[in-house]
Amino acid sequence: MANLSPKKNEMPSQLPNVRNKNFSEVALGYTKEQAIDEANRCLNCKNKPCTGGCPVAIDIPAFISKIKEEDFEGAYQIITRSSSLPAVCGRVCPQEVQCEQRCVRGKNGEPVAIGRLERFVADYHNAHATKPAEKPASNGHRVAVIGSGPSGLTCAGDLAKKGYDVTVFEALHLAGGVLVYGIPEFRLPKNIVQKEINTLKELGVNIETNMVIGKTESIDELFEEGFEAVFIGSGAGLPRFMNIPGENYKGVYSANEFLTRVNLMKAYKDASHTPILHAKKVAVVGGGNVAMDAARCALRLGAEEVSIVYRRSAEELPARAEEVEHAKEEGVTFRLLTNPVEILGDEHKFVTGLKCVEMELGEPDASGRRSPVVKENSDFVLDVDCVIMSIGTSPNPLIKSTTKGLETQKWGGIVIDEETGLTSRPGVYAGGDAVTGAATVILAMGAGKTAAKAIDEYLQKH
């Protein structure tokens, strides 16, 4: 029966003052009954506006119709025609600016909870599927994939399904890219990522970890070894700093380092040997998703006060609204229109404070956002013992500097042909954050898909 409620079904979640002390998943997912009830809010629009908002064009009304019929496996099959990581995207996609933004139910209420339904379908499949994925017959062609984030995993999976002999080379000791080293357990449990990686292995994908391409071996050497095409999905993991005095003090982290220690190296577990500062008062500089993740991790590590320090106003915060809301509910303080100018330290170079200035919004800049300008005589000191810099990342220059003929932008992004993902070097394709700079999981996946299709066409001609 159609559900005319203007509101989405709420997703059961841990309470804020419980969850801010543990690393278990915050949102608990729909029950079968809640999922069917939410699916009944969908009007099955003929022109599928929601699908137009999904970067990989999932047939949203079709999969939601299957949920209405209680055919959850059927729904899963429809989603996985377009997306290989539905349990991940259902959790972390910025749905509010993609599929859900275009949903007609959003005009007079809240849109259909497409992301939550996608998550339900993927979790249901993962809980009930027993058959391992079948390894297709080999077509004899070898492809190397550099990096095991969403772009690399998607490219590898799509090629393996077509019979390619794919090896993924990953610099870290565990595969998954940002999904394992960046996004915290409480937003994306790591067993979900591991499940996706296991499926790739069942398809025959070989994953070699601790392999830094450009150091352990170069792209030229991969070709010499017999790989016929290479996909670069090495992400944008090089952190930026503000270049203010004191950034070398003890207690200053880049968000990437902090999150890697917490997530990949499990510093939050009592049994972990990973060193991490259990700071009391933490300032996180920046206003994106990465900053929210770092702030929420710092709280869970036991900090008494965690502040987001952001130089623009609430309207310009680049993080997803839901992440900002969750951070506030958990006790993170927002110091908006505030910019750090110096990190203060004691005689042993331990952080003792963050000197800031107040800002006000001036004229719009090239991005259309009003530029923050310093208020005169407004400096003050925040009492903190840890500063986490989260002001962006860029692609690591290692691959560019060790690969002949690979054209990049000034800021480091690899130049590609957008239709195919082909770089300036024949046989070498690229996609994801390594090309666009820090973006989203679903865009990286889409880029991996585009390149896999183009690599298939290229190798079938050779």
Positions touching ligand FAD (CB under 6 A) are 92-94, 146-152, 169-172, 177-178, 182-183, 211-214, 233-235, 237, 259, 289-290, 293, 396, 398-399, 432-434, 438-442, 444
Closer residue to ligand FAD, CB minimum distance, 61 or 150: 150
Using CB under 6 A as the binding rule, the residues of this chain from 114 to 143 that contact ligand SF4 are: 114-115, 118
Tell me how far the alpha carbon of residue 278 is from its chain's centroid: 25
User: What is the closest distance, in whole angstroms, from the C-beta atom of residue 277 to ligand FAD in the complex?
Assistant: 18
Contact between residue 205 and residue 160 where contact means Cβ atoms under 8 Å apart: yes
Question: Residue 156 CB, nearest distance to ligand FAD (Å)?
Answer: 11
Q: Which does 285 bind (CB under 5 to 8 A by kind): ligand SF4, ligand FAD, none?
A: none
9 touches ligand SF4 (CB under 6 A) = no
Question: Can you tell me which of 58, 171, 279, 309 binds ligand SF4, judged by CB under 6 A?
Answer: 58
> Contact between 104 and ligand SF4 (CB under 6 A)?
yes
Closest CA to 13 of 239, 330, 446, 335: 330
Cβ atoms < 10 Å from Cβ of 200? 24
Tokens of 102: 């275009």
**DSSP labels, 41-67:** T----TT-HHHHTSTT---HHHHHHHH
Query: Which residues within the stretch 355-414 sit at the binding site for ligand SF4 (CB under 6 A)?
Result: none
**Residue 203, contacted partner among ligand FAD, ligand SF4, none, CB below 5-8 A by kind:** none
Q: In terms of Cα–Cα distance, which of 213, 195, 118 is closest to 157?
A: 195
From ligand SF4, ligand FAD, none, interface partner of 44 (C-beta below 5 to 8 A by class): ligand SF4
User: Rounded distance, CA 424 to CA 405, Å?
Assistant: 7
Give the nearest distance from C-beta 414 to ligand FAD in angstroms: 11
> How many whole angstroms separate alpha carbon 234 and alpha carbon 217?
15
Between 303 and 332, how does the x/- string for binding to ligand SF4 read (CB under 6 A)? ------------------------------
Q: Does residue number 45 form part of the binding site for ligand SF4 (CB under 6 A)?
A: yes
Separation of first and last alpha carbons in the chain: 55
Q: Does 43 bind ligand SF4 (CB under 6 A)?
A: yes
Nearest 5°: phi and psi at 304? -85, -30
Instruction: Quote the least distance from Cβ 407 to ligand FAD, whole Å.
Output: 17
Closest to ligand SF4 by CB, 193 vs 229, is 193
CB of 44 to ligand FAD, least distance (A): 27
Q: 17: which 2 tokens?
A: 């003052």
Q: Which x/- pattern over 60-99 shows residues binding ligand SF4 (rule: CB under 6 A)?
A: xx--x------------------x-----xx--x-x--xx
Can residue 338 be called a binding residue for ligand SF4 (CB under 6 A)? no
Q: Are 30 and 120 in contact (CB under 8 A)?
A: yes
Q: Which is nearer to ligand SF4, 183 or 222 (CB)?
A: 183
Least separation in angstroms between CB 296 and ligand FAD: 10
For ligand SF4, the binding residues in 412-451 under the rule CB under 6 A are 442
Residue 124 parent element (H or E): helix 114-128
What's the closest the beta carbon of residue 50 comes to ligand SF4, in angstroms? Answer: 3
Name which of ligand SF4, ligand FAD, none residue 146 binds, using a CB cut-off of 5 to 8 Å depending on partner kind.
Answer: ligand FAD
Choices 57-65, 124-132, 220-228, 323-331 (CB under 6 A): range interacting with ligand SF4: 57-65
DSSP letter at 70 equals: T
Q: Which is nearer to ligand SF4, 105 or 161 (CB)?
A: 105
- For ligand SF4, the closer of residues 48 and 162 by Cβ is 48
Beta bridge partners of 166: 143
In whole angstroms, what is the distance from residue 134 CA to residue 92 CA? 28
What are the b/e assignments for 309-339, b being 16+ CB within 10 Å?
bbbbbeebbbbbeebbebbeebbbebbbbbb
Would you say 115 and 100 are in contact if contact means Cβ atoms under 8 Å apart? yes
Among 8, 19, 66, 105, binds ligand SF4 (CB under 6 A): 105
Helix axes 114-128, 72-82, angle to 10 degrees: 110
Based on CB atoms, which residue is closest to ligand FAD, 61 or 237?
Answer: 237
Cα(90)–Cα(193) distance, integer angstroms? 13
Secondary structure of residue 328 in the 3-state scheme: helix
CB 229 within 8 A of CB 427: yes
CA distances from 337 to 286, 308, 368 (A): 11, 11, 17
Identity of the residue numbered 440: T
Point out which residues bind ligand SF4 (CB under 6 A).
Answer: 42-45, 48-50, 54, 56, 58, 60-61, 64, 83, 89-90, 93, 95, 98-99, 103-105, 112, 114-115, 118, 442
